[in-house]
Structure 1
């Protein structure tokens, strides 16, 4: 998912360089949304792993 966000970011940068403002804005918006979805899923995954994780065997 993070690779998708980076791909859309690169598309946005390339489109901005060539002067396609609408496409660049849309691609940047999509990249931002995908990135924040990635961060939310990462935090949920880390919390779930911490909650059901096993303690050290002593």
Structure 2
């Protein structure tokens, strides 16, 4: 099966809501929603979906 993760751990990405550059610390698949969620080093208590992040 092909790996469909859009962002990798330790990759720097853009948080679209604030324009802040952040670093991904963890990635996990949410089976019932059929998409990936990401935890950021700068905001460890919140998770984000791919739509909320952008490439730099």
Bin the TM-score by the shorter chain.
under 0.3
Q: Which protein is richer in strand relative to its size?
A: 2
Q: Which protein is richer in helix relative to its size?
A: 1
Higher relative CO (Cα under 8 Å, sequence separation at least 6) belongs to 1
The structure with the largest alpha-carbon Rg is 1
TM-score, structure 1 length as denominator?
A: 0.24
TM-score, structure 2 length as denominator?
A: 0.25
